[in-house]
Amino acid sequence: MTDQDITFTIDGVAITAKPGQTIMEAADDAGVYIPRLCDHEGLRHQGGCRVCTVKANGRSVAACTQPAAPGQTVENETPHINKLRRDLVEMLFHEGNHLCPICEASGNCELQAMAYRLEMGEPTKFPYLEPSRALDASHHDIALDTNRCISCGRCIRASKDVDGKGVFGYVGRGIHRRVAVNGEDLAHTDADASDHAMSDEVCPVGCIIRKRVGFATPIGEREFDKGLIGYEIEGKRRG
């Protein structure tokens, strides 16, 4: 700890933040997990999905973009906040076609894992929008099933900021906004299987599919078979 470090609390736990760190960054370092979907290590923060909503001194903020402030009191795992998060996740399920039983991302999918963490039951609260989007299998190594896209924008940021390409971008406005490729289809972009945007870790769901991998990883050995989403961050605290 240095003189510049900031101290605040999350759910009563004392947290030390370096100057300029967001609430989420400081929490991650301290082993306190704040749920998130659009945020991903190594990509710039977006504050889009709002699943990381916390209450800082009683005000709702996105933990991924809100700087940590001295003496701040942050509420994270409260029934009220988790209900808001659960509603947000439920709406994401209703916006797309998320058929976990037949999706090759099942077990590795952050949306599914978040639903388990937030104890989402059968989603019945909102109407299903049931989009009908053709699968783009034009690229030799990658397929896109945008029925599963949650518009987190991680692929957009990874392609632009890390790969320097701009394969993906948002199109449309409001409820019609969605991720699209910068070309007739993926084969007509400069997408490559070695792009960071195409890596397993960037797409949180089963939208960006690396071809010919499928179900090669058995049930029981998938990422979230090891623990609830956030287990690695929480593991730091438990030591």
Partner 1 sequence: MGEPRLIEISPVTRVEGHGKVTIHLDRDNQVDEARLHIVEFRGFERFIRGRLLWEVPVIVQRLCGICPVSHHLAAAKAMDVIWGVDELPPTAEKMRRLMHYGQVMQSHVLHFFHLAAPDLLFGFGAPAEKRNIFEVIKENPELGRRAVMMRKFGQEIIEATAGKKIHGTGAIPGGINRNLPIETRDAFLKTIDDMENWARDALALARGYSLEHAELVNNFASFPSNFMSLVRAGDGALDLYHGNLRALDSQGDVIFDQLDYRDYHEKIVEDVRSWSYMKFPYIRDIGPEAGWYRVGPLARMNTASFIDTPLADAALKDFKSVTNGAPNNAALNNHWARMIEVLHCVEKIKELLHDPDLQGTDLEATGHRREEGIGVIEAPRGNLIHHYQVDEKDQVTYCNLIVSTTHNNDAMNRAVKDVAVKHLSGHEQITEGMLNHVEVAIRAYDPCLSCATHALGQMPLSVELFDADGALIDSRAQAA
Which residues contribute to the site for partner 1 (CB under 8 A)? 101-102, 104, 134-135, 137-138, 143, 209, 211-220
Residue 121 contacts residue 63 (beta carbons within 8 Å): no
With residue 112 as reference, give the H or E element that holds it. helix 110-117
List C-alpha distances in Å: 176 to 2, 3, 179.
47, 48, 10
25 vs 136 by CB, closer to partner 1: 136
Query: How many other C-beta atoms are found inside a 10 Å radius of the C-beta of residue 68?
Result: 26
- Classified as helix, coil or strand, 19 is coil
For partner 1, the closer CB: 3 or 221: 221
Q: Which is nearer to partner 1, 14 or 216 (CB)?
A: 216
Report in angstroms how near the CB of residue 135 gets to partner 1 at its nearest: 6
- For the CB of residue 104, give the shortest distance to partner 1 in the complex, in Å: 6
Whole-number minimum distance, CB 72 to partner 1, in Å? Answer: 45
Q: Is 217 helix (H, G, I), strand (E, B) or coil?
A: coil
Of 91 and 137, nearer to partner 1 (C-beta) is 137
Q: How far is the CB of 95 from partner 1 (least distance, A)?
A: 21
Closest CB 148 distance from partner 1, rounded Å: 12
Gap between the Cα atoms of 236 and 126, Å rounded: 37
CA distance 23 to 30: 11
The CB-of-191 to partner 1 minimum distance in angstroms stands at 15
- The CA distance from 7 to 30, in Å, is 11
Beta carbons of 4 and 42 less than 8 angstroms apart: no
Of 162 and 187, nearer to partner 1 (C-beta) is 187
Contact 130, 148 (CB under 8 A): no
Please identify, using beta-carbon distances, which residue of 32 and 103 lies nearer to partner 1: 103
Q: H or E stretch including 79?
A: helix 79-95
Residue 70 or residue 101: which is nearer to partner 1 going by CB?
Answer: 101
d(CA 231, CA 229): 6
**Smallest distance, partner 1 to C-beta of residue 226, A:** 15
